[in-house]
Structure 1
Amino acid sequence: MKLTKSQAISIAQKIYGKQDERVKEIESMYRDTQSKVISDVNAFIGANKSWSAKANPDEIADFLNNLKDTFYNASSDDQNLIKMAFGDNKLKSNGDMLMAKVTQDIVRQSMAQKIHLGVATENIPNVVNAPTYAQAKNVIKNHQHIAEQSKNVDAILYKSTKNAVLDSHVDSGMFSSVNKQTMQTLRKVREVAEKAAKSPKDSLNWTKDIKDILTGGDNSSNGQMGRAAGMIRTATAQAMNRTRLQDFISTNVKKYKYISLESPTTCADCSDLDGNIYNVDDAEEGVNFPLMHPNCQCTVIEVNDDDDWDTSDHDVADELNDL
């Protein structure tokens, strides 16, 4: 599929750029998790429970049954994560139960994030290999049911968690990075939750602290949610650009043009590369082929020696709609 610069940018934006529904869905899930954590801590404080008092046996049994169901349906990677997350979590006191609930909230978010990464990348080759720009847009549109069917953590975990598999073009360490970030986030959230539960009458601004950790609160970093959004942009961008390079090689394309989305957040390196033409044989990711860095939003298009506007397949209506 040959693309103009505007068409390539349009597809990139729909897949991993500013219009990406997948990023919005990740952000929605993190806000749901944030609300759940705050609700759990508020319920503990509101019930005026003693941190060290013995927990209700029925509550312990219900929690364990739920956790076992989650563990049984999880992938081996997530089973290991669950074991690590609950490694030092006893279930004797009320405080133990609160920590267990908070841990479960964060772990479930991590599992949902990995499922979302897998689902978001699985269809990228179908977009890249579509015969025309119009058909590529239809593939993207038809795959947007992801956002419609996964409005929160519970909805996306309804999918078989054992089938969370990244596209082969994405770095294999992506899930490991999610696990690492999950454990770091978990330690921070548990610390805040414990302080809040043990000092309910103090003037601790614990709600703000949890928001800062999970969604960034009022900070531009967006906390762990911002890192998760960057990760899904990186994964989908990797899948698309690496698949496109593979297609160039298999169809004997000799040259490509580097395309930067030229957004307000575009870095100087990517902006400098915009419009440059390179040999496919010389393509080197991070040097003259995207991704140049995590969260990079650049792409490439095919170039021929006789390349001009009239040599590519164009949908005139689409061209005019992009003006």
Structure 2
Amino acid sequence: MPENNDNFNKYTPFFSASSSQIFLQKCYNREKIADAEMKSYENCYPFIYHLEHAKTYYLQAAISPLSIQPILSFYGLAQLLKACLLTIDPNYPESTSLLAHGVTTRKRKKQQYEFLKDEVKTQKNGLFTCISEKMFHIKHLEGEKYSMDTLLKEIPDMETLSWDASRKSFIPLLQYSDGFQLSPVVLDNYRMSSSRLEEFLNSKTNQGYHITEGPGVVLLKTDHGLLHNASSPIRYNWAEGRFMLSINKESTAFSLPELLLHYLISYNLSIIARYETEWWAELLKTMPNDDYPCIVQFLKISQAKVPLLIFEWLKSERFGF
């Protein structure tokens, strides 16, 4: 995975009013928005400013003390997502309710608090709900609760932190002909036949999976290729450069797009860094449990990976390529 300060190099063409205007007009035409050309001119600078602001946040996070990195990372992510929303809705934000975070967490932590057991709860309005519905066409997430442990287990790059092979949460997909190979152990993990696994995965996503068995291997094909930001249990491990299938079939976050995972975790960490000063300082000084390495690893991964995921969405997945 590239270093944090390299991850905005791909965005360079966007830092031009003419290039961003053409891009936005293309987006608005696809959405069949009236006066697409005029609105693209109106929004090209706000679009650029969101990207520039995000770049500044992420660059500062990379060189800042760990104590304030969660705050900078979260606001960098928020700025990138607002740029994405401008490609869908030229009038964003249409109301102040959309400026809220869209997530809440327990403000005062209990004694013996553990980050991995902490939860966030989604709300009816706000940025999280807006990106869920407009970027990923996911509705009815209001009131859902997610633990940090559940969310972290759905990020494949986090697996390098586990020294216990029995705790693996993903199985790699190996490129093969016009599809992918998986180890047959996947059927044992899911406790399903290949036909039942195909049915199960298709019920969790709109990607269209086709699964068959070969000699000592499970073969997977898709209707439209694999996406980095799909509502799917197949996620991209940037560190290893390949897609991987989650085996956490009971997880409430099993098919959430990875950007939503990063948003929920980053939001909670930013709240802790801002308001739970005593616990946060103690964690950084004493490193008492698995919370510390998980948080450090997540921040490193998220700061590097989020700009890449957003770029994939903007340049490819925005138009269904």
Question: What's the TM-score once normalised by structure 2's chain length?
Answer: 0.25
Task: Select the structure with the greater relative contact order (CA < 8 A; seq sep ≥ 6).
Answer: 1
Higher strand share: 2
Normalised by the length of structure 1, the TM-score is: 0.25
Identify the structure with the greater helix proportion: 1
